[in-house]
Amino acid sequence: MALIALAADKGSPGVTTAAVALAAVWPRRVLVAETDPAGGDLVYRSAAAHGGPLNPNTGMLSIAATARRGLVPDQLWDHVQPLSGGLEVLVGLGVAEQAAGLAGLWPTLGRAFSQLADSPHAPADVIADCGRVSGDTPAVELFPQAALVLLVSRTEPESLARVRDRAAALAAKLHGGSRGAASLATPLIGVLLITDPSTSAKLVHQVNDMLMAAQTGARVVGTLADDPAGADQLAGRKRGRLDKSLLIRSARKVTVDLYQQYGAAWTNPVAQQPGRTTQQPQPQPGAGR
């Protein structure tokens, strides 16, 4: 099982940028799923592999009818579109009102996402862009099936306070029991900081102390560079050596660290995507919310 769910508490820290950046250097075949109930962004700013626009009706919207009749993991590929750089995506909803069509189906989707790595035909990990989560956001129903829930946060004091409180709330919802027990339970809850690389080491230490003091069971699993130029390259809005950008270099370090720490639990061999490489990621449309 390897469903990685990315989410934020409030604001626009760059969940979509983070999801696409991690997927661009993921060491196994990967599917990016835009599961934000408020709607996705990629269809508006990304080119399809054939050079034209993505089809907004093929993705989360089209999968709703299929999932009501039951959903096996390999059926996900019927709703996937490749981007011009080779990344495979499940395009999100167009508007929040369309989320009503997925009512009751989120656990079904979560199971299909988590089991895709076990597919005998086309195995892949799934990185789910869940957008902002708060209150009764239905995307939270994916989380019990995830291997890892990553809360994306910038480093302003109010953002860090919110991610601390959201981590504690999710730990109570997903794990229950004693506070602090979340570090021993699944899904694991981690924090991904968007920060200036020059100050990241000090901030990681401070934020981990804060998370520990609050007994959230969560900890910082990595940092992504706050790199607007790299985000523009990733979105296809700017030319340049994407693989040399601070954003992609930091994303590669995050993925390496994740696999060193948690990869033993993700044991199913997954084929690489045809035509893609973890060493020279291609500019992928889809930078962020």
Place of tokens 């969560």: 218
As given in the structure block, the two tokens for residue 134 are 């708060």
Rounded to two decimals, what is the model's pTM?
A: 0.88
Bridge partners, 34 (sequence order): 129
Interatomic CA distance for residues 200 and 132, integer angstroms:
23
Percent of the chain surpassing pLDDT 70:
88
Stronger pLDDT, 168 or 182, i.e. the higher one: 168
- Lowest average pLDDT, out of 1-5, 129-133, 143-147, 175-179, goes to 175-179
Whether 278 shows a pLDDT value over 80: the answer reads no
* Helix residue spans in the chain (DSSP H): 15-24, 42-45, 60-67, 106-115, 157-174, 200-213, 228-234, 246-262
The whole-number pLDDT of residue 201 equals 86
> Could you tell me if 86 and 275 are in contact, meaning their C-beta atoms sit under 8 angstroms apart?
yes
Stronger pLDDT, 270 or 242, i.e. the higher one: 242
Interatomic CA distance for residues 4 and 146, integer angstroms:
6
> Could you tell me if 238 and 232 are in contact, meaning their C-beta atoms sit under 8 angstroms apart?
yes
Whether 182 shows a pLDDT value over 60: the answer reads no
Count CB neighbours of 95 within 10 A. 9
DSSP designation for 93: -
Supply the DSSP string of 4-56, one letter for each residue: EEEEESSS---HHHHHHHHHHT-SS-EEEEE--TT--SHHHH-BBTTSSB--T
Highest mean pLDDT among 127-136, 144-153, 280-289: 144-153
Whether 57 shows a pLDDT value over 50: the answer reads yes
